[in-house]
């Protein structure tokens, strides 16, 4: 099933209320976004130039600490759509459970998809997918272990959409222009809280980068996305402060969930997944007070929550979880 968080329209249809009545905690998007700078008229009016794209790529390379090409795309999702076309379709293995678009897009592109539970089982695949840290259970894999896995598969795809708060998990610093058979995906919108901007990057070797650029076309991201990305990616002070806030918020959420009798399954500083007993019933209880959460078709007990934004939202969530 290609179900996703952020489906607040479904929540309103089934539980009532207007959008402004709800706290949407069903995604892992930073609720305190990067402050959007003023966008010059040129960025809105002109087609992005090669120089614009090169400057954005350079900003991404510096931010992620990589020598690899950083191909700008319309979000990590756009990269997920293109990756199955980089090599002839065959036998793909996806480390599961995880973000369901990986397997779904591969199947749509004619791949035979096998979902496996352990990294060792990925060996021998024509294409293998690892999400690190994983969504939704927060499993983590050492970069050196993934580098050792890469020669055992034809194409290794590592989705690092939630790695910004944990740069030590990233493979970005270990790859360069010579790195073929390996693609690392990075999301801009999640950590920077600007998912509507639709910006992400595929980090890979020179030859695969050339093919990705060709498939994505001449203007894969818009002028305002380029302008904001070039401003936000080098802002290390904001990055540092945001990581500190997210770490504190994750601990705060864990304490509230523990008080409700839920057990932490895992997560990242952008979301937490809990054993909540009957997850459907727990989601229903939260929905009655207009707080939307994320449950999963493969688990009757897992419920995922993103971070609240501001003290008013935290107070509402605390009240809901305490049963007040």
Please report whether residue 192 resides in a domain: yes
On the question of a cis peptide bond just before residue 21, with omega within 30 degrees of 0, the verdict is no
Please report whether residue 317 resides in a domain: yes
Give the DSSP letter of residue 133. Answer: S
Distance CA 244, CA 269 (A): 9
Answer positive or negative: Cα dihedral of 140, 120, 179, 52.
negative
Please report whether residue 279 resides in a domain: yes
pLDDT band (50, 70, 90) for residue 323: confident
Tell whether 221 and 262 lie within a shared domain: no
Is 232:34 a contact under the CB 8 Å cutoff?
yes
Please report whether residue 144 resides in a domain: yes
Please report whether residue 23 resides in a domain: yes
pTM: 0.96
Tell whether 96 and 140 lie within a shared domain: yes
Give the containing element (helix H, strand E) for 257.
Answer: helix 236-259
Tell whether 242 and 230 lie within a shared domain: no
Q: What is the pLDDT of residue 320?
A: 97
CA distances from residue 6 to 9, 187, 236, 276, 306 in whole angstroms, order as listed = 8, 16, 28, 20, 11
- What's the length of the chain? 324
Distance CA 187, CA 189 (A): 6
Q: Averaged over 281-308, what is the pLDDT? A: 97
Mean pLDDT computed over every residue of the chain: 97
Percentage of residues in the chain with pLDDT exceeding 70? 99
Output phi, psi for 303, to 5 deg. Answer: -135, 135
Q: What is the pLDDT of residue 3?
A: 86
Percentage of residues in the chain with pLDDT exceeding 90? 98
Tell whether 223 and 274 lie within a shared domain: no
Q: Which of 189, 208, 234 is the last residue of a domain?
A: 234
Tell whether 168 and 314 lie within a shared domain: no
Distance CA 131, CA 11 (A): 27
Count of beta carbons in the 10 Å neighbourhood of residue 87: 16
Tell whether 99 and 171 lie within a shared domain: yes
Tell whether 184 and 80 lie within a shared domain: yes
Q: What is the pLDDT of residue 84?
A: 97
Q: What is the pLDDT of residue 2?
A: 83
Domain CATH for 140: 3.40.640.10
Tell whether 28 and 134 lie within a shared domain: no
pLDDT tens digits for 138-169? Answer: 999 999 999 999 999 999 999 999 999 999 99
pLDDT tens digits for 10-42? Answer: 999 999 999 999 999 999 999 999 999 999 999
CA 312 to chain centre: 26
Number of domains in the chain: 2
Domain CATH for 258: 3.90.1150.10
Encoding tokens for residue 46?
Answer: 């002109």
Distance CA 267, CA 162 (A): 10
Please report whether residue 2 resides in a domain: no
Tell whether 222 and 304 lie within a shared domain: no
Of 272, 252, 266, whose CA–CA distance to 318 is shortest?
252
CA 33 to chain centre: 15
Count of beta carbons in the 10 Å neighbourhood of residue 222: 17
Please report whether residue 131 resides in a domain: yes
Residue 1 has pLDDT above 80, yes or no: no
Tell whether 179 and 114 lie within a shared domain: yes
Count of beta carbons in the 10 Å neighbourhood of residue 38: 5
Of 260, 233, 262, 257, whose CA–CA distance to 306 is shortest?
257
3-state SS assignment for residue 116: strand
Give the residue numbers spanning the domain of 60: 41-234
Q: Which of 234, 250, 274 is the last residue of a domain?
A: 234
Q: Which of 212, 234, 256 is the last residue of a domain?
A: 234
Tell whether 291 and 228 lie within a shared domain: no
pLDDT tens digits for 206-256? Answer: 999 999 999 999 999 999 999 999 999 999 999 999 999 999 999 999 999
Please report whether residue 3 resides in a domain: no
pLDDT tens digits for 101-140? Answer: 999 999 999 999 999 999 999 999 999 999 999 999 999 9
Tell whether 302 and 262 lie within a shared domain: yes
């Amino acid at each position: 099933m290609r179900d996703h968080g952020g489906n607040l329209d479904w929540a309103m249809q089934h539980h009532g209320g207007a959008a402004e009545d709800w706290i949407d905690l069903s995604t892992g998007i930073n609720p305190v976004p990067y402050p959007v700078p003023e966008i010059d008229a040129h960025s809105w009016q002109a087609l992005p130039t090669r120089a614009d794209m090169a400057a954005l790529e350079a900003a991404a390379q510096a931010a992620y600490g990589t020598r690899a090409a950083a191909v700008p795309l319309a979000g990590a999702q756009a990269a997920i759509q293109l990756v199955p076309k980089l090599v002839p379709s065959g036998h793909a293995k996806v480390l599961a459970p995880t973000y369901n678009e990986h397997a779904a897009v591969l199947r749509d592109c004619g791949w035979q998809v096998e979902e496996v539970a352990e990294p060792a089982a990925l060996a021998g695949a024509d294409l293998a997918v690892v999400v690190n840290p994983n969504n939704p259970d927060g499993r983590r894999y050492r970069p050196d272990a993934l580098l050792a896995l890469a020669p055992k598969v034809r194409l290794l795809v590592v989705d690092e959409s939630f790695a910004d708060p944990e740069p030590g998990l990233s493979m970005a610093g270990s790859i360069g222009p010579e790195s073929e058979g390996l693609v690392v995906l990075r999301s801009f919108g999640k950590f920077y809280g600007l998912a509507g901007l639709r910006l992400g990057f595929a980090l890979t070797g020179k030859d695969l980068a050339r093919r990705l650029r060709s498939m994505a076309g001449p203007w894969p991201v818009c002028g305002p996305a380029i302008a904001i990305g070039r401003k936000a990616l080098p802002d290390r002070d904001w990055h540092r402060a945001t990581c500190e806030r997210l770490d504190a918020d994750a601990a705060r959420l864990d304490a509230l969930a523990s008080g409700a009798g839920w057990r932490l399954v895992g997560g990242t500083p952008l979301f937490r997944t809990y054993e909540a007993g009957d997850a459907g019933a727990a989601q229903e209880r939260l929905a009655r007070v207009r707080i939307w959460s994320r449950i999963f078709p493969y688990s009757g007990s897992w419920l995922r929550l993103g971070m609240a934004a501001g003290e008013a939202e935290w107070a509402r969530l605390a009240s809901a979880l305490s049963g007040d």
